[in-house]
Each structure stands twice: as C-alpha cells, then as structure tokens.
C-alpha cells in the first residue's frame, strides 16, 4: 500500500466554499489519505457539514476532527495538524480553496522520485481574474545556499498550502506557525532555513480563491496585520542570526531582508489605517549595526536610513521602492 498522507484543513466559518473544498479533497485519485479537520470554533454550520460527510461519503471514515477549546486562528490550526497527523507526509489546504483530483498523486510521485523534504506544486489564483503561477520546468534544489535564498527570489512560493511535507522533517526541526494571522511567512522562512532539498513541479494542483473578506484581502485583521509584521520580522532576524552563513551570503540576505521591509513600509504609507508608526520597527538598525555595513555601500545606505527619524523615512521609502529593481540587481 502507498504511504499514508494527511490532508490537514483548519476550518473556521468556511461557508458555502467548504463544500467545494472538502469534495475536492475527498475525491482524490490517491487512495491512502487521512483527512484531519481542525474545528477552530466558528459560528456557522461548517463542522456539521463535515460530520455529515464523515457519515455519508464513501471515504468518510478517513475524516478525523480535532476541536480547539476556542478560536485560535489558522496558524494554531496548522500546528494542531502537525501534532496529530498520522501520515508520513502532510498537505495543508485552506477551507475555501480547491485541489485537482490528481493533486496528491502528483506530489507523492515527485516526492518518491526526488526524495526531498518538500514538494511544491503550481497553482492558480481565482478572483476577478485568474493568474497562473507555473514554473517553466520541473526542478530539484539541493544547494543549501539556493534553498534559503528561495524565500526571497520567488522560486519557492511562500504560502503553506499546496506543498507535500515530510512530517518527520517538520517535527524534527520543530517547525510551527508562530503568528496568528501572518502564519505563512515565518513558517516558510523556517522551512527553507532547515530544508536540505525541495522540488517544484509545473503541474497546477491547487486553486487559491481570493475572498474579499479574508484577512489578507482587507478584512477586520488588516490593521493588526501591520502590527504583527513587527514580530514576524523580529523572529526572522533571530533565526537568521542563530545560523552560520558565509560573510558574503550573510550580507546578501540582509539586503533581501531590508528590501522586504521597504516594501511593507511602502504599503504602510498607503494604508488608510494609522500604521505608519510601525515603519520605525520595520526599518530598525538592529540587524545592520555590525561590521557588515563597512565596505558594502548598499548596506551602509540602508543603515543610514534605518537611524533616521520617521519623517525622513517617509520621504525616502517611496524613492527606494522605485529603485527596487536596481537594488535587487545589485544584491
């Protein structure tokens, strides 16, 4: 029998989208699947619908429900899945998205062929328009430097979903979601910090539905998201500084990190919420204040900007963002 794979889905007020999502998971061509549902204490009938599927669907006996004591957020939902998953491999999906019928089979075939820590499929975004994310070819990455740089250069997409993980890899490295709302970024930062290999396949296996009421699309969490980014950045820096990198690579990563913070600062400047105050936290000099800035003009420029008062940062952030392509070329 093929290896057991866990499909993990945190569920909170999924509404009408849940039926599409759950049926796409249940109708996989791959047979040996455990469906681990986390009840994050929503107020609609989502869990009742899942319980009905568990008693009526031909694969219903494979559905397991773990209930949170209270609403803890999607990040803690994924942590619960990592804790209770019985499969050798783990696949996350959101409760309003959809996967192709052969999604798990294709990812599993690549996992067994390439023997990597993670296999990443391609996906389509479904909204007012459809935007395809499709690498031009299948590739396997086993170079440690390039694996980590994949976090910054878009070779490995940030979202937690549409990836098949070795569950032992996640547990052995204690990789968990730490932040309530921005759960993907730091999780994937950890994944690529510790991974020894990954594979990307060009096959579209996932459909990500952009729902206007979701946190990332301007819902009630919007202002809190800017605040939470402060903690995300702090945690990334702590993990980065705990690792040993060659001096040249360390400088390159610092430039990528600062460029990432510039982009968020630019978004804060345009936000209707009172979030500009967080720019000082985004563009902190804390991770630049060392010998790396000497002899590297770009890092020195970033350091100078980081120690400037907020009103000066507000002026220069848009200018530097306009030059981001040139900055990226020189990183």
- Convert the pLDDT of each residue in 158-201 to its tens digit: 999 999 999 999 999 999 999 988 889 999 999 999 999 999 99
Average pLDDT over residues 38-49: 95
pTM above the 0.75 mark? yes
Q: Which CATH superfamily is domain 5-215 in?
A: Spore Coat Polysaccharide Biosynthesis Protein SpsA; Chain A (3.90.550.10)
Does the pLDDT at position 219 exceed 80?
Answer: no
Q: How many CB atoms sit inside 10 A of residue 107's CB?
A: 28
Does the pLDDT at position 311 exceed 50?
Answer: yes
pLDDT on residue 165: 98
Does the pLDDT at position 87 exceed 60?
Answer: yes
pLDDT on residue 210: 83
Does the pLDDT at position 331 exceed 60?
Answer: no
Average pLDDT over residues 253-267: 93
pLDDT on residue 213: 46
Q: Shortest CA distance to 118 belongs to which of 18, 200, 216?
A: 200
SS3 28: coil
For residue 126, the cross-strand partners are 130, 209
Q: How confident is the model at residue 229 (pLDDT cuts 50, 70, 90)?
A: very high
pLDDT, tens only, 94-114: 999 999 999 999 999 999 999
pLDDT on residue 39: 97
Q: What are the helix (H) ranges across the chain? A: 17-26, 46-56, 74-84, 103-114, 144-153, 167-172, 183-194, 222-242, 247-270, 279-282, 297-306, 310-322, 324-330
Q: Shortest CA distance to 283 belongs to which of 266, 268, 305, 299?
A: 305
Q: Which residues contact 3 (CB under 8 A, 6 or more apart)?
A: 32, 87, 88, 89, 108
For the chain, give every domain's residue range.
5-215, 221-330
Q: How confident is the model at residue 324 (pLDDT cuts 50, 70, 90)?
A: low
Q: What mean pLDDT, rounded, does the chain reach?
A: 91
Residue found by looking up tokens 């998205």 in the block: 97
Does the pLDDT at position 217 exceed 70?
Answer: no
Structure tokens at 210: 């952009």
Pairing type for strands 139-141 and 33-39 reads: unpaired
Q: Give percent of the chain above pLDDT 70.
A: 94
pLDDT, tens only, 61-74: 999 999 999 999 99
Does the pLDDT at position 2 exceed 70?
Answer: yes
Average pLDDT over residues 246-256: 92
Contact (Cβ atoms closer than 8 angstroms) between residue 267 and residue 282 = no
């Amino acid at each position: 029998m093929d290896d057991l794979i866990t499909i993990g889905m945190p569920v909170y007020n999924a509404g009408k989208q849940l039926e599409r999502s759950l049926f796409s998971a249940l109708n996989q061509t791959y047979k040996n699947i455990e469906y681990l549902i986390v009840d994050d204490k929503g107020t609609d009938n989502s869990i009742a619908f899942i319980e009905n599927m568990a008693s009526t669907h031909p694969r219903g006996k494979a559905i397991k429900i773990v209930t949170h004591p209270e609403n803890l957020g999607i990040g803690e939902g994924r942590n619960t899945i990592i804790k209770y998953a019985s499969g050798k491999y783990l696949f996350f999906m959101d409760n309003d998205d959809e996967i192709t019928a052969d999604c798990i089979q294709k990812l599993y075939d690549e996992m067994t062929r390439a023997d990597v820590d993670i296999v990443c499929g391609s996906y389509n975004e479904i909204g007012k328009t459809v935007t395809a994310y499709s690498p031009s070819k299948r590739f396997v990455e086993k170079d440690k430097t390039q694996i980590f740089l994949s976090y910054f250069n878009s070779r490995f997409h940030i979202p937690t979903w549409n990836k098949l993980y070795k569950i032992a890899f996640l547990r052995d490295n204690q990789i968990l979601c730490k932040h309530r709302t921005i759960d993907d970024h730091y999780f994937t930062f950890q994944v690529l910090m510790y991974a020894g290999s990954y594979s990307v396949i060009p096959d579209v296996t996932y459909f990500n539905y952009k729902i206007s009421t979701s946190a990332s699309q301007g819902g009630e969490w919007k202002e809190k998201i800017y605040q939470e980014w402060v903690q995300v950045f702090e945690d990334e820096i702590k993990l980065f500084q705990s690792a040993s990198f060659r001096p040249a690579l360390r400088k390159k990563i610092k430039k990528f990190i600062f460029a990432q913070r510039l982009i968020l600062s630019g978004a804060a400047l345009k936000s209707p919420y009172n979030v500009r105050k967080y720019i000082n936290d985004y563009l902190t000099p804390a991770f630049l204040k060392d010998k790396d800035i000497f002899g590297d003009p770009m890092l020195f420029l970033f350091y100078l900007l980081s120690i400037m008062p907020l009103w000066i940062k507000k002026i220069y952030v848009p200018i530097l963002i306009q030059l981001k392509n040139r900055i990226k070329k020189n990183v």
